[in-house]
Structure formats: structure tokens, C-alpha cells
Structure 1
Amino acid sequence: MTAEERGTQVLEAAVSAFAESGYSATRTDEIARRAGVSQPYVIRLFGSKQRLFLAAVGQVCDRIEAIFTAAAAGAGDRKPLDAMSQAYEQFLSERTPLQLLLHAFAAAGDSDIGPVVRDRYGRIYRLIHDLGGAPVSETRRFLSTGMLLTVMASLQVAGPEAIPADWAAEILEDLTEHGV
């Protein structure tokens, strides 16, 4: 396996571990174990647990940006925001990246992690705003709904394997009625 392939393997293990336990509770030796490498190798690749966490967050944010960019490019006759919304629904079926994203928001109080997480969220906002061609209020509603759905999917009350919850069904029905 090449160093690049090993790095990818470690990053995938990190996304999974950080999604389960968050930044503070995840240990680099657990990530190394999942990746099948030594803990010193993980540090040699990424420099520190913090850099590895930020790389994992970056990977998830890059993926969201790619999903939105591809959806807007392929929108055809639909509004770009509608196409991006539909594309994000597919992403919502994957709990691991969603949970990592929520852990990133929770870790944003850290003086080194916060600026990076805020920057990445800002980049996603700008991308949606630019690709969607919508006013700020509509972009805000899009992000608000996306965050609500992210939390609901993380709670497992929305998505393909949803655990029934009356309140969640009510929200999802309302979103469907209003074309979201």
C-alpha cells in the first residue's frame, strides 16, 4: 500500500472514530487500530490529533461542497437550490459524516479548531448562496432546513432506517408539503 493509500485509510478510520466519540474522547491509538497502523505512524502522517480531526472535518466538508456543486451543475430546468436539496437528502442517509459534522460544531469552542470549522461552514454557505443564486433569506432557510435534517438524521428519526417519532413525522410531513 502506498503512503497516500495509507493516509486515506487513516483518514477514513479517523472520520469513523471522531464521529462516534467526538474530538476530546477519541484517541489516536484507536484510530491507528482501526486503520491497521501504529499510533506513531498516525502522528507522523498528520502531525497531531488536532490536525487529523481537522483533516477529517475537511474531508466531510469537501464532500458536501462537491455534492452541492455537482447538483447545481446538473440542475437542468430545476432551481439549483432544489437540486442541491435533493442531493443532500442522499448524503443524509450516511450517519457517520453527519455525526462528525455535529462533533466539529461542538468542538468549535477550541481556539484552534473553531476558526477552521467556522471557515468551512462559511465556505459551504457562500457556495450555496453563489450556486443557488438566491437571496440571503432563502439561502438561510436552505441551511436551516439542512441543519434540522442533519440533526434529525443523526437522531435516527429521519432517513431510510428512521425510528418512529411523532414529532419528527410532523416536521417531515410539513417539509414535504412545502416542497423542501
Structure 2
Amino acid sequence: MTDSRPQRLPAAERRELMLDAASIVFGERGYTGTTTDAVAVAAGVSQAYIVRTFGSKEALFAETAGRALSRIEAVFRQAAAPDSSAGDTVQERLGRAYVDLVADRGILLTVMHLFTLGHHDTFGSLARDGFLSIYRLLRDEIGLTPQEAEGFLAKGMLINTMLGLRLPDVVTTEPDAGELIACVLEDATEEVVTLTTGHRPLGSAARNSN
């Protein structure tokens, strides 16, 4: 007889699924507004399992944010590698990669929340090291000038701000929002609006414990 019982996921895969859920919750609610229970609800596991796996909300956020930073660097590095995109400049490929990151719900907003915690004893160094690591990647590995790297980072943070404000949600009722988004995103406007408006807000967590 065939065993019809559901197969348990390997521990490493379960951990990744929990980190995916944590990225979404931290991205939407920030560090202070997130509870381990909310992450557990999003991941479909118990709060006790989240705590047993990561130890604390602080440790969970640190791992989630560090993973997001690593993901951004990997995407930028891949985008800058020689490929078949004839005629595309490095900046154009990087811009395309940044837009693609929007599809990974939570990753950019989690990093933005991290960057507001420069004062935090644990997260401050993680935020500074992560930001400067991305800058060095753009300058030293990819070959942008400091001025080009500054412009790319500034535009990226503006995109993050628009996502945090959920401006794509109101393009049909706020013409100025649509105008600004189109100015920043240009040909990628329709794609980003479609991606982000498909991200429905999370429901309320069952409990507020940490």
C-alpha cells in the first residue's frame, strides 16, 4: 500500500518557510509591531515552534533582515553579470533587478525597517554593515562610480518609501501618486502596480505575545 500520510518537510526547508513568513510580517508591521505569534499565523505553525527555532523575536528579525540583505546583494550581483541583454547598461539591469525584488513580498520593506533602527544595540551594526556592503558591491564589484551608486541607492530608497506608503494602491484615485510612480518606475510602472496591489494586508494575529 502507498503511504498517504503527508510527508514532513526537512528542518531546513521549514526554517526557510518561516523566514519567508517573517519577511512578510516584519515588512508590513515593522519590528515593534510584529509578534512571534503573527509570524506563526502567517507561517502556519505554532508560536512555540517559532520561539523554539529562533529563540526570540530579536533573533528572528536579525536573521530575517540579514537574509533579506543577502538576497538583495545576490540579485544585484547576478544582474550585473555579463548576459545576453544586448544594449542594456549595468544601471538598466540593476534597475530591472530592483523591480523584480518587489515581487518578493516583504524583502525591501523589511530592510527599510531595519534601516530605521540604527540606534538599536543589535540591529544598528547589522543595518550599517548591510547598507555599506551593498554600496561597496555597487562601487567595487559592479564598477559604478560613487555618484552612480548614490543615485541608484537614492532611487531605490524612494521606491521603498512608495511601497511602504502603498502608493500603488491609490493610483486610480490619486493622480499625483500615479504621476510620481510613473516618473520613478517608467516602463516598469504597470508591473509594479500589479505586483503590489496583489499584496493583500495581513489579518490580525490571534494573540499579542512575543
Deviates more, 1:59-68 or 1:161-170: 161-170
Determine whether 1:55 maps to 2:63.
yes
Given that 2:18 and 2:43 are in contact with CA atoms closer than 8 Å, whether structure 1 keeps it comes out as yes
Query: What is the one-letter code of the residue matched to 1:78?
Result: D
Q: How does 1:98-109 map to 2 (within 5 A)?
A: 98-109=108-119
1:43 shift after superposition: 2.0
Q: 1:46 to 1:76 in 2, by over 3 A?
A: farther
Separation in 1, partners of 2:23, 2:104? 12
Q: Deviations over 1:126-174 (max 9, x none)?
A: 111123312211111111111112212332335xx66244165147437
In the other structure, the counterpart of 1:117 is: 127
Q: Name the larger-Rg structure.
A: 2
Separation in 1, partners of 2:177, 2:43? 39
After TM superposition, what 4+ stretches of structure 1 lie above 6 angstroms from structure 2?
none
Query: What is the one-letter code of the residue matched to 1:148?
Result: L
Q: How does 1:55-74 map to 2 (within 5 A)?
A: 55-73=63-81, 74=83
Query: What is the one-letter code of the residue matched to 1:151?
Result: T
Paired-residue identity, %:
36
TM-score, length-scaled by structure 2: 0.72
Separation in 2, partners of 1:167, 1:17? 25
Q: 1:31 to 1:55 in 2, by over 3 A?
A: same
Q: Work out which structure has the larger RCO, using CA pairs closer than 8 Å and 6 or more positions apart in sequence.
A: 2
Q: Deviations over 1:61-85 (max 9, x none)?
A: 1221121111101365533222111
In the other structure, the counterpart of 1:36 is: 44
* Aligned Cα root-mean-square deviation (Å): 2.4
Q: Deviations over 1:26-83 (max 9, x none)?
A: 1112212322323232122112211110111122212211211111013655332221
